[in-house]
């Protein structure tokens, strides 16, 4: 990928054209993006990886968000200024897609994908410094939100991810710094896990994009 041609990505000597340049605007082609994602997925996850036809609606929503197609986003009520909360059953491919999608926009700042449970483990060892660290201005995708245990440091319990989400909300309001997350939980389960205050902040911070609850476990 050259800096003035972010729509052309080279992987293992193969050029992938995700669209065409029209002046200084990129006209993306969704089918070409899917071809690239399939190839990149195989490079990252192994030759068993594939793009499933039933996931193309989800992928389309994610793609128009990441490429910042404002017109298409408006039609589907997706706010490009919010983050993504990608929800769905275990094994439907949420984590893989969030790892992959950042590669279609190499000219944008990439987010770091971190399992929520790892953050809680860090809190148990390091304490409140961990919450400060993730409440900073870096760009994160918190993976598997809601499956982490309650944090405990020196005998005090803490809903670590809930506190971090509140910090991220402040960053979102003051500096428009986005946060992404994946979760297996539905809206009610998230509220039970983090409380009404965090849940209401999440509504303001995230675009909710959901897999069908009957999505197959792709790890089988």
Mean pLDDT per 10-residue segment, the chain (220 residues):
73 92 88 96 94 93 96 96 94 92 92 95 90 89 92 83 95 94 92 92 95 74
The C-alpha atoms of residue 91 and residue 220 are separated, in whole angstroms, by 9
Q: What is the pLDDT at residue 1? A: 47
How big is the CA angle at 72 (ends 34 and 137), to the nearest 5 degrees? Answer: 80
pTM: 0.91
Give the phi and the psi of residue 58 in degrees, each rounded to 5.
-60, -45
Q: What is the pLDDT at residue 96? A: 94
Q: What is the pLDDT at residue 86? A: 97
Q: What is the pLDDT at residue 2? A: 45
In sequence order, what E strands does 62-216 have? 83-87, 112-115, 140-145, 151-153, 156-158, 179-183, 206-210
Q: What is the pLDDT at residue 6? A: 82
The C-alpha atoms of residue 37 and residue 51 are separated, in whole angstroms, by 8
**Sign of the torsion formed by the C-alpha atoms of 29, 3, 74 and 99:** positive
Looking at the DSSP bridge assignments, the partners of residue 143 are: 115
The C-alpha atoms of residue 95 and residue 49 are separated, in whole angstroms, by 13
**Sign of the torsion formed by the C-alpha atoms of 106, 30, 143 and 161:** positive
Q: What is the pLDDT at residue 157? A: 85
Q: For the stretch 93-124, what's the b/e string if a residue is b when 16 or more beta carbons lie within 10 angstroms of its beta carbon?
A: bbbbbbbbbbbbbeeeeebebebbbebbbbbb
Q: What is the pLDDT at residue 212? A: 82
Q: What is the pLDDT at residue 220? A: 60
Crossing angle for the helix pair 94-101 and 56-66, to the nearest 10 degrees? 30
Domains of the chain (ranges; CATH) run 8-210 (3.40.50.300)
């Amino acid at each position: 990928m050259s800096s003035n041609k972010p729509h052309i990505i080279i992987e293992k000597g193969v050029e992938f054209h995700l669209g065409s340049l029209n002046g200084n605007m990129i006209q993306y082609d969704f089918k070409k993006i899917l071809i690239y994602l399939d190839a990149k997925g195989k490079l990252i996850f192994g030759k068993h990886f594939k793009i499933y036809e039933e996931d193309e609606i989800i992928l389309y929503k994610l793609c128009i968000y990441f490429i910042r197609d404002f017109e298409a986003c408006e039609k589907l009520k997706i706010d490009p200024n919010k983050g993504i909360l990608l929800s769905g059953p275990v094994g439907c491919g949420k984590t893989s897609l969030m790892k992959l999608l950042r590669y279609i926009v190499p000219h944008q700042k990439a987010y770091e994908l971190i399992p929520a449970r790892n953050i809680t483990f860090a809190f148990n060892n390091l304490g409140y410094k961990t919450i400060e660290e993730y409440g900073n201005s870096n760009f994160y995708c918190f993976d598997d939100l809601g499956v982490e245990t309650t944090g405990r440091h020196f005998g005090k319990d803490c809903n670590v991810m809930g506190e971090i989400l509140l910090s991220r909300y402040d960053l979102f309001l003051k500096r428009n710094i986005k946060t992404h997350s994946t979760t297996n939980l539905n809206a009610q389960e998230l509220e039970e896990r983090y409380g009404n205050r965090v849940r209401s902040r999440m509504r303001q911070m995230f675009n909710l994009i959901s897999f069908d609850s009957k999505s197959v476990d792709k790890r089988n």
